Structure formats: structure tokens, C-alpha cells
Amino acid sequence: MNLPLTGALSRQAAMGQLLQDIALDLVGYASLQDLLGEQFDAAIRHQQARLGQLAEAIGMLVDELETRRARRVALATRLTGPQPAMAQVFALLRPGPRARLEADWAALERMVLAAKAAAKRNGDLLAEQFTIMQRVLHGEHRDYEPA
């Protein structure tokens, strides 16, 4: 159910798309965590070809996640008006669906933070490996010589 974002989109359809996108993002972020774990493993093992494949897969997945995030903001705006917040979206639902959405949203927020931390860890490792390789290939460059 990929609906266009138009003024004609009903509130019910907008809510349905938003809920579907959150469910897809939960799956997407789980996949991203797996890919980031594989990337870390490939970096430790210096598997350059595998790193390239993983970078491509991660990039494509991040693009999908970003597309859904932007659509979620547009849908929340459609549902709640300018300056949307998920608390406003939660308030539109009955207690049962609201509790499920709040739990899914909290899980998604945790997954986003975990993915950011894993991406930083991987970036730091790759940067350190690059720095070490530069030292090995080109020697130490000293800006200041001891007196």
C-alpha cells in the first residue's frame, strides 16, 4: 500500500500508510543492524570487496529508510497539522492500537540509536585502519621535530 501524498488522501489511508511504514522500518532497521555487524566483521578481516558490497547494500537500505521517514513526516503533518509530533498521532488512536504503536515507536527509536552507534563504531574503525595504513605506506609525518 504505497499511497501518494495528496490532499485527497483520506485520514484513514494516511494513518494506515504511517502504521505500515513504521512496521517496515522496524524490519529495515533490523536488517541495517545486521549489515552494520557484517561491515564491522569485514573491516576487521580487511575484506575490501565485501566492504564495497556492504556499503552499497547499506546505502540502498538507508535511502529506503529515509524515504519512509520523509513520508512519515508528511503523513503526520496530514493527520495532525503543521509541527507534527508522534504524541499527536498516538492521540488519534483507540487505546489498544495506541499502545501497540507507542511500543513500536519506542522500539524504532531504540533501533535508530543502535544503528547510529554501530555506524559510528564502523566509521571509527575504518578511519583508524586508514590512518594506520597511511603510516605504514608513507611513514610518520612529523610536523614538529624534537629539539
Instruction: Determine the average pLDDT of the residues in 128-142.
Output: 74
Provide the pLDDT for residue 1.
Answer: 46
Element (H, E) at 72: helix 48-80
The whole-chain average pLDDT of the chain stands at 90
- Write out pLDDT tens, residues 86-129: 999 999 999 999 999 999 999 999 999 999 999 999 999 999 98
% residues pLDDT > 70 (the chain): 88
Residues 6+ apart with CB under 8 A from 125: 40, 43, 44
- Predicted local confidence at residue 3, as pLDDT: 47
Mean pLDDT of 70-95: 96
**pLDDT, average across residues 68-96:** 96
Per-residue pLDDT at 134: 74
Mean pLDDT, range 42-49, rounded to an integer = 95
Average pLDDT, integer, range 66-95: 96
What pTM did the predictor assign?
Answer: 0.84
Name all domains of the chain by residue range, CATH numbers in brackets.
11-138 (1.20.58.300)
For residue 142, what pLDDT is reported? 60
| Three-class secondary structure of residue 55 per DSSP | helix
d(C-alpha 42, C-alpha 1), whole Å = 36
